[in-house]
Amino acid sequence: MRLSLNLSYTKFRAASFFLATRLMLDNGCRAVYDGRAQQRRRAVYAWLSNLRMVAFFFIQKLIMMRLTLFFLLFSAFLACSKDDETAAPALPVLNIDPLTIEEGNSTNPIFVTLRLSAPSADTVIAFIESVDVTARGGEDYEAINFKPVVFTPGDLREDYRVNILGDEESEEDEAFTVRIADAVGAQIGTGSATITLLDDDTNTDLFIPEEGYTSPASHPNMELIWQDDFEGAEVNANFWTFEIGTGNNGWGNNEWQYYRKENTYLVDGNLVIEARKENFGGRAYTSSRMITKDKFDFQYGRVDIRAALPFGQGIWPALWMLGANFSSVGWPACGEIDIMELVGHEPSTVHGTVHWSNGGQHAQYGGSTRLSSGRFYDEFHVFSIEWDAQRIRWLLDGQEYHNIDITPSELSEFRNDFFFIFNVAVGGNWPGYPDATTVFPQRMIVDYIRVFQEN
């Protein structure tokens, strides 16, 4: 390019001299022929003027050539830069999948999956590590410390093995996180995933809550007429009788259990009624049902029962009363007062209901209340009724949640004596029946029952 410019400049000088000389000769000849000195001077001036014009013309050309060359070089540079940019391939995106799995009872492997959004022509390496949440590395799983996961060219998925340290201890579900700490040859997209370990252990240990509500030992203008604190080694036979068997049509409710005395026992001043999954008497489940019929009944007063309740699909605990004339008039003519019922698939809700005969037809009226948090299994609560000749009121932990006026003549059943029934049914028309989610054994724990009447 430098040589080309030098040649152009040489040509420019020669052409300029030639044109100037020719113009001078033409003017000189005219001066000779004319014989005038003035013409010669004008010829010289004209030669100089033409020389300037020619010089200006070629300088413009030279500048334009150099500008053109500059723009050509600049355009070529830009074109090369764009080619370089488009030529660089986009990196694939690296993601990691979450996983939910049962914990198990021993060490067992799981596989955490990493994925590329597109195959790569180069090797991709992801470096992963674990982060404790509620599960602990070394205790619940084998921790991961900046381990490489290698994708060979063309691979889209790789699985990394993590050992879960299972046990037989019943506990809450736990979790930890696996995150992509760094990557070579890929961009990090979804860079972390939660690994959830579901507890699959059955809690067969007896759980008696240490906390919960306790009702007052006395109430204004009332006296304690009967109580059972369930102290001692056995259920007080002077108060309670156990009903045995399957009843008529599953105790009228298509229940599945066989009732036995052996499913009830006392522990540390608490009554325990235990529903079990076991074959007995042609049934696959056993439980207990105990009554005070012919041993204690009463008309009107306040009842406080402190209890913790079982839960689970098909489980049906109840603290209730039947009219003392049940044997002679039958149900529902005897009347029924359900102080507390719970259906196990709703472990935070209890119901209070009355049943009676209305012109020979079954009638009922009930209400319910729900805990703001937790289950009735978690701690003790007190289930109460206040009952007089005008009204029955239901209370949970001292707070009324339902009531009924019993003064109408068709509700005369509720102006008679009643006796108590405690039981835990398995299955029935209302709660449905146990399934794979139902854990056995299930237990109702009763701390005390107290009956007060007006002075």
Between the alpha carbon of residue 352 and those of residues 54, 108, 135, 179, 321, the distances in Å are 117, 47, 41, 51, 11
Radius of gyration of the chain (CA): 49
Tokens standing for residue 186: 């890929």
Q: Could you give the CA distance from residue 338 to residue 185 in angstroms, rounded to a whole number?
A: 69
336 is catalytic: yes
Q: Could you give the CA distance from residue 287 to residue 178 in angstroms, rounded to a whole number?
A: 46
Torsion angle, alpha carbons of 333, 403, 299, 247, to 10: 40
Torsion angle, alpha carbons of 117, 119, 124, 130, to 10: 30
Residue 228 identity: D
Kindly name the residue from 103, 158, 255, 336 that is annotated as catalytic: 336
Q: Could you give the CA distance from residue 325 to residue 356 in angstroms, rounded to a whole number?
A: 13
395 Cβ contact list (under 8 Å, min separation 6): 382, 383, 384, 385, 386, 401
Q: Residue 238: helix, strand or coil by DSSP?
A: coil
413 is catalytic: no
CB neighbours (10 Å) of residue 202? 11
Kindly name the residue from 103, 255, 274, 341 that is annotated as catalytic: 341
Tokens standing for residue 388: 């007089």
CB neighbours (10 Å) of residue 316? 25
Tokens standing for residue 189: 């997209």
Burial pattern 173-185, b for ≥16 Cβ within 10 A else e, equals ebbbbbbbbebeb
Q: Could you give the CA distance from residue 275 to residue 272 in angstroms, rounded to a whole number?
A: 10
Tokens standing for residue 391: 């009204």
CB neighbours (10 Å) of residue 35? 7
Is the bond preceding 441 in cis, omega lying within 30 degrees of 0? yes
* Residue whose C-alpha is closest to residue 144's, from 164, 173, 174, 158: 164
CB 369 within 8 A of CB 342: no
Q: Which residues carry out catalysis?
A: 336, 341
